[in-house]
Structure 1
């Protein structure tokens, strides 16, 4: 089944600036950025309340999750689910170790969604 939103138009732009990491930045890199008073994620000056101009939101959809009839999308509310639900850790995909990823079920409108909350990173992944 198609997703909720249409696909974005293809981009011909190449990424600029420093890449965003899902694992901790090297301390040497962070020290250099602090000395220059630059943001860790973009090449702008860091000031209190700074927000990167080119922020992105990443989402993964697990197809077929919670599509069984009779499931109301609630998890952990006393309903025993005998089916094994898929589990996916962002850190496991990238090879980063030592962080925690919380897996919950959320709703967008009336559609249940699998949500991964990466509590071990400096930026949130939902």
Structure 2
């Protein structure tokens, strides 16, 4: 205590460093520990461990972002890099969104397959009656639709020029069967993905937030936006739209004309609740 009267007041950083020097381990290397961290569980669990070690080192914002992305799982690593985050908070949010999206599109594990593999020796004793009910035709259509081959840019341009449906060789109309309709998770929550682009258009001098999304099969518009614009809608035959969170029914349609970068466009839109974008231009409108 008597020695303290000869010391000058120090700042917080110096105080922390002095504590680490006095009571810390001689062989502890915070930077080495940070580089050893890898994502083995969920994004939230990885974020907690990463932030705990990050407080012990002095890294620039860019290096911290690089360290975090570098140790994500391979699928999340690529998906987060595409969003080009500029802060740690953006990195964290992007990683959580991409993780939720990958979990949503992950094919469900078949209970029938698991049970069959465990009791393969007793298969002869099973009755011919299936363990699970046969899925209805709508579910089969959606699964087939979600696994279909993506068209190349040349194929899309050729079908657009011939006014053909993108998923068959018939003339395109909005009365196409329900098997051809799907909407991506980016349009549903209004976020950007590697297959989408946000632009601003105008209808009756009112701004429209348009999401160009090649992951969606058709054009969609938020019913709340239609109401604010005062547009009249017309009914159409009810159809089902496949989405990551299940299927949704659409039965109303509206033709919208809008301006984009000095050019005028017109297309039919199906009414469906969307995220912050308000308008989704799918494959048939791109």
- Global fold match (TM > 0.5): no
Q: Greater Rg, structure 1 or structure 2? A: 2
Higher-RCO chain (CA-CA 8 Å, sequence separation at least 6): 1
TM-score between the two structures when normalised by the length of structure 1: 0.32
The structure in which a higher percent of residues are helix is: 2
Which has a greater percent of strand?
Answer: 2
